[in-house]
Structure formats: C-alpha cells, structure tokens
Amino acid sequence: MALCVALCLAVLAGCGGDPVPDSAAGDVRRLLERRAHAVLERDEKAYERTERGAAGGRAPTDLFANVRDVPLDAWEYRLTGLDRSGARATARAELSYRVKGYDRAPRTAERTLALERHDGRWYVTSERPARKAGQQLWDQGPVRAERGRHSLVLGVGQSAADRRAYRDLADRAVPAVDEAWREKWPGKVVVLVPRTLDGMAGLLGAPAAGYRGIAAVTTGEVGGSGRAPADRVIVNPEAYGVLGDFGKQVVMTHETVHVATRSRTSRATPLWLSEGFADWVGYRGTGRTAARAAPELRRAVRDGRLPAGLPDDADFGFGGRAERLAEAYEGSWLACRMIAEQWGERELGEFYRAVGAHDERTGAVADALRDVLDTTPAEFTARWRTYLRSELR
C-alpha cells in the first residue's frame, strides 16, 4: 500500500487521472492557481503575470476582459494532462466555476491551454475550449450582465436595451411558472444570449443547422440531483428576434418551466409531457385558442390526418421536418391542456411528478395515468384524439 501511494504521488500527486509528466506539472498547477485567483479577485495585473504572447509577442488578455462582468463565486482549474516539448507545453484542465447567487454547485468545462517557458517560469499563451467541448459565453466576446428581480441575463454583442428586454421577459416568466407549477424551486433563471445562431451552437457544441428555427433551449441535469448548478436558458437571437412580444414571452416562460421542473423530470418523462407542460404554462391565462396556437396540427386534422397516438420522442428532433416538429409540440400542449381542463390543473402537476418519479420509461405513463387520472393509455389516447377533433375542427 505504501509503495502504491508513493508511486501515485510521484506520477500525479494522487491516484487516478491522466499521468502528468516531470516536475513541470507542479509549476503548471501553481500557474493555474494564480490565474484562477486573479480571475476570481478581478486582479488584472496578477492575471497578466500569468500570460505571455507566443514567441514573446503581446499577451492574450481577452478571457479576463470577457469574464469581468460575470458575477463569480468560484473559479478553479484542475490539471488533467500535460504534454511537454522543451519550452512549450499543452495543458488539459477542467475549469470549475459558479455564478454567484445562481449556481448551487460548480459548472465544469474542459479547457486546453498552450504554455511557454521563459526565464524558468511557465506562462499561458492561449486558453480555449478542449476539442469537442462546447464554448463558454466568454469565449465569444465580452460578456455583459443584466440583473433582474428573478433573473440574470448574460449577453455577448447585445445592446443594453436588448439585455433589459430579455431581463423583463424572464422576470415575468418566473412568477407565471410559480403560479402554475406550485412546487418549491429556486425561483430564478440564468439567460445566455450569444451574438448569433452560430454562437448558440458553439455553446451547445452542436451544428448550427439543427437549431436554425429554434428560439431557445434549456440545458441542465435531467433528474435534478440538487448537486447540479442552475440550468441555463440559451437564446438563439436570430429566431427569437423575429417573434412578436407575445411569442417571446411564451418562449421565455416555456424555457423557465424546464428550469423549474428539472428536479421532477427524469428518463421516464416522455418529451410530449415535458414539452407539452412547458407550453401549457406558457399559454396559460393568455386566452390563446387552440386554432391559433396549433395551426400545423389543425391543418393536419382538417386534412384527415388525425394523429394515431401521442408524439414520440423522435418527433421532437430539431433536424427533421419543421411541420412534424410543430405538430409534436402542438399535440403535446393540447394533451396537457386537456388534462388541466378535464381533470384539473393540480392533477396535471401531480401527473407530471408521478411520471418523473419512475426510474425507467417503461410503465411510467401508464402507472401515472392509473394512479392520478384513473384512466389507461388507450382510454387517454382516444380521449385526446376526440379533443383534437373538437378543438381543431
């Protein structure tokens, strides 16, 4: 045992992780500690002392400036790998950070840092997302913060007026969700607004084409362990920008529902329920009729293409046919609307929680239909199809 511990200490100062070679590892760890402390303490001079331009050129200082306006409660690097060639090296590190007042636990991001050694000391010459890792908002430019009563908007390339508009939408969404969800949750939301669709895709680490018509998405931990940081609502400013005021509010409220319900959403929750419930809250109290809010599904029903069953998860794929995606959302909303009208709003919430309480998808909806709504999947589907005919004729 003593030999094992000694060997582990010699390799990486602890068992586990990728081996970090030679004595440079300790120097680089201390460099990253100084860098993290400088970011957290807003000490620009200390930060600059961790950097040096490649081959003696001008030091890159964008990260410090870009993150300056973000309210941080923690910022820490953990060295996970180091490849050295003489006076140059590439470090792999896990960045952990918390946004003050919003993150209950650290968010993590894989980073790659280029290093050079001068006069016996290591310096950072660049820092970027690791290969195949998504960007952070500050990788895209200077982040500006707008603090609301229930929200924090972080934007790149947005005017102050635009950031305030997003703040107001989010501040209205939170009370609307509170009223409908009727369960304790943090009651606040973080909204990320990149400059472009490509910026949104960069944050998600995915091709932009899949999100072209999507106004916003919410990221977070399914199942909500309570140890995870707060969710993020990520806006596609191009698609969001073409919406009217009504549509913008519905979308923001919809995404805020996902934040509120995350701890009750699990692998057992079908997308028709999570997306339909979010839309139900978004439209709740607006007076919007089914005919106006579900035009694609109405067209299908009037053309004799009444859905045979509730939407499958595959129907919600962003890369598929736009009409199919719209019909999936509209049918899901009407399923939840039907439950609220015919069983009650409280029962709709109980049904959502009952489904999410299952560990697996199999049997989750059937059991919740039986226990909460006193019906069966076949009876519920038939009732939903009748409801579609009635509402969309």
One domain, residues 63 and 125: yes
| pTM, full prediction | 0.89
Q: Is it the case that residue 58 has pLDDT exceeding 70? A: no
Average pLDDT over residues 89-109: 95
CB atoms within 10 A of CB 284: 18
User: Residue 331 sits in which domain range?
Assistant: 266-393
Residues 176 and 253 in one domain: yes
**Mean of the pLDDT values across residues 45-51?**
95
The verdict on residue 5 lying in a domain is no
Does 209 share its domain with 277? no
Q: Would residue 73 count as lying in a domain?
A: yes
Domain of residue 79, CATH code:
3.10.450.50
Do 293 and 393 reside in the same domain of the chain?
Answer: yes
Backbone angles phi, psi at 306, to 5 degrees: -70, 130
Q: What does the pLDDT average to over 204-227?
A: 80
pLDDT band for position 226 (cuts 50, 70, 90)? low
| Same domain membership, residue 221 and residue 288 | no
Q: Establish if 3 belongs to a structural domain.
A: no
Written as one string, the DSSP assignment of 332-355 is HHHHHHHHHHHT-HHHHHHHHHHH
pLDDT at 10: 33
pLDDT on residue 228: 58
Mean pLDDT of 111-140: 95
Intra-chain end-to-end CA distance of the chain, in Å: 75
* pLDDT at res. 8: 35
Domain co-membership, 121 together with 211: no
Q: How far apart are CA 334 and CA 288, in angstroms?
A: 12
Domain co-membership, 167 together with 258: yes
Judgement on whether residues 256 and 352 belong to the same structural domain of the protein: no
What confidence score (pLDDT) does residue 169 get?
98
Domain boundary among 111, 133, 155: 133
Instruction: State residue 127 phi and psi, 5-degree precision.
Output: -135, 135
Q: Which one of 227, 247, 264 terminates a domain?
A: 264
Together in a domain, 83 and 111: yes
Q: Whole-angstrom Cα distance, residue 302 to residue 327?
A: 13
Q: Is 294 in the same domain as 258?
A: no
Taking only the tens place, the pLDDT of each residue in 258-309 is 999 999 999 999 999 999 999 999 999 999 999 999 999 999 999 999 999 9
**Residue 219 three-state SS:** strand
Asked if the structure places residue 83 within a domain, the reply is yes
What's the whole-number mean pLDDT along residues 146-165? 97
In a domain, 45, yes or no: yes
Total domain count for the chain? 3
Note whether 160 and 214 are same-domain residues: yes
Checking if the pLDDT of 17 tops 80, the result is no
Instruction: Report the alpha-carbon distance of residue 323 to residue 294 in Å, rounded.
Output: 11
Task: Tell me whether residue 4 is in a domain.
Answer: no
- Is 166 part of any domain? yes
Q: Mean of the per-residue pLDDT values for the chain?
A: 91
What percent of the chain is predicted at pLDDT more than 90?
Answer: 83
Domain endpoint, select from 107, 133, 159: 133
- The pLDDT, as a whole number, for residue 322 is 82
Instruction: Say whether both 139 and 112 belong to one domain.
Output: no
* pLDDT band at residue 5 using 50, 70 and 90 as cut-offs: very low
Residue 1 in any domain: the answer is no
